[in-house]
Chain A
Amino acid sequence: MTDSAALLNKHSFVELGARQRAKALLDDGTFRELLDPFQRIMSPWLLRQGVVPQSDDGVVIAKGTLDGLPVVIAAIEGAFQGGSLGEVGGAKIAGALELAAEDNRNGIPTRAVLLLETGGVRLQEANLGLAAIAEIHSAIVDLRQYQPVVGVVAGSVGCFGGMSIAAGLCSYLLVTQEARLGLNGPQVIEQEAGLDEYDSRDRPFIWSLTGGEQRFATGLVDRYAADDVPQIRQQVCQLLHLGVPAEHRSGQAELFLQRLARLDTDVQIEPAAVRQLYQGEHP
């Protein structure tokens, strides 16, 4: 196949919105959205600040099956307010994960897939976003006792703030080259630490540290996929079939403390140094 033919046949996942992404992952005809946009459950906080709300608050919750397995998908719409989480969107994700855990206690093996395109807390709803994210963390840790929680960061927004911590709690993480995963957004680091520490306009620098390829090479995520719907779907499927991992990445404090102890912090860090320090345990 020529390159142009390959391009024409490619089905980009990154270019899809949150609802289309959820549909693309679920088995045909099984997509069922909860609290869909027609129910108009919107943010009670945005309008009074002069921000136009959206009728799904930027979060899509869908139930269905994936390769026959019962799943709930929580997909964040990166195009609405940078994928930021406010009270309603946050409660949708936390509530869905809580119900999935409850399912498992009642003998229904519901899994969860999180499609993460988010800057983290929506600052217009600051403390309610933060509270919701704490509840999302709690619900992930609860659910993943029973079934895997798979996080997907496809891009182009990436996954930041409190939701990067949620990503770190997932049983498995999948990224593309477009993805970025990190706690603090580049602008905020530059604001807090200065241009020498972090140049928010230097895109190659930022991707070299926090981009999908680097996160995979350093073992901070589990899978690295092309921006292609069938490939991403297949990988998510495989991860769901793997079941609960013997050890979660977030449960390995001793390992990470040992690694950090070996780092020379007198010199500024380079991407290669992270790969060297962290690789070895990763296949």
Chain B
Amino acid sequence: MSSYSLRGLRWFEALSAGASQLPGLPASVKAADARLGGKTVRLLAVVADPDNRFPRARNGEVGLLEGWGLAKAVDDAIEADRETSSKRALIAIVDVPSQAYGRREEALGIHQALAGAADSYARARLAGHPVIGLLVGKAMSGAFLAHGYQANRLIALRDPGVMVHAMGKASAARVTLRSVEELEALAASVPPMAYDIDSFASLGLLWETLSVEQIEQPSAADLARVVDCLQQAINAVTGAPRNLSSRLGAPHRAASSHVRQLLSAQW
């Protein structure tokens, strides 16, 4: 049984359509420049590498090599477009089950590696690169913070396997001193605790959700639909603020706006 998801890889392959991959990256980090509606975009994905030198990062987790590898691939795009005003869009294909949990990871500063990735994505966005997150699988916790959550716009495919959360259910139950059943019961009534994509969408954090026919292996129609949506997202970003303010405004996230208004008034 394959213990890891292939969605990220399949969507990367479909969208990159054989474009050559950026060299010098860890095997678990894929990056390639593809043409999308006549424009160059850089696709980025973290994929499972069963031979990863770091055993706790063999199933697609974002670990040390993945964090720094993403940073390098994004920095490369920032550098390549430094002198031009038309910055290529960065498309983070998100299918990340978690960050890597291990002794080597903590000892060598996995927090710093993930900061490296978040830093590069944020700098790219501030420099004017449209950054789009395309959620095709799990988008969990630190892994998502490093890969995707700095995007100007987030797009999620509608599927039970697409989920965003801060921690897996077993660990979340342990940390909050609840049973998994209790946790699930609470998640059903408290939208930010839920694992499904509709609850997540109700928080106002997604720009668009999209249905496809074959999420595991995209069909030609799926690909066309996603490409069209990505182009719309890139267009929506052009000329818009380079911060994350478009995520504010949903009723389930009213306090986030209220706090900012009060802070500004008292500043």
Residues of A within 8 A of B (CB): 34-35, 39, 41, 43-45, 48-49, 61, 63, 87-88, 90-92, 94-96, 98-99, 120-121, 123-135, 137-138, 141-142, 145, 161-162, 164-169, 181-185, 187-189, 191-193, 197-198, 209-210, 215, 218, 220, 248-254, 256-257, 260, 263, 265, 268-269, 271, 273-274, 277-278
Total number of B residues with any Cβ neighbor in A under 8 Å: 81
Interface mask (B166-208 → A, CB under 8 Å = 1, otherwise 0): 1110111011100000000010011111100001100101000
Asked whether, in the complex, the Cβ of A87 is within 8 Å of the Cβ of B256, the reply is: yes
Is the CB–CB distance between A91 and B259 below 8 Å?
Answer: yes
Q: Are B111 and A181 in touch, CB under 8 angstroms?
A: yes
CA distance A271 to B106 in the complex (A): 11
Question: Given A121-B167, A193-B56, are A165 and B256 also a contact pair (CB < 8 Å)?
Answer: no
Can you add 6 more A-B contacts, CB < 8 Å, to A91-B260, A123-B175, A137-B122? A39-B262, A121-B141, A126-B165, A130-B164, A183-B106, A265-B53
Residues of A contacting B264 with CB < 8 Å?
Answer: 95, 99
Report which B residues bind A (CB closer than 8 A): 26, 53-56, 64-65, 68-69, 71-72, 75, 98-99, 101-116, 118-120, 122-123, 125-126, 141-142, 144-146, 149-150, 164-168, 170-172, 174-176, 186, 189-194, 199-200, 203, 205, 243-244, 247, 253-256, 258-260, 262-264, 266-267
Choose among A98, A131, A248 the residue that contacts B205 (Cβ–Cβ < 8 A). Answer: A131
Q: Please tell me if the beta carbons of A209 and B145 are within 8 angstroms of each other in the complex.
A: no
**Neighbour of B171 across the interface among A124, A192, A249, CB < 8 A:** A192
With contact pairs A99-B264, A165-B142 given, residues A87 and B167 touching in the complex (Cβ less than 8 Å): no
For A254, list chain B residues within 8 Å (CB).
72
A221 to chain B: closest CB distance in Å?
A: 10
Known: A35-B262, A260-B64, A271-B107. A45 touches B192 (CB 8 A): yes
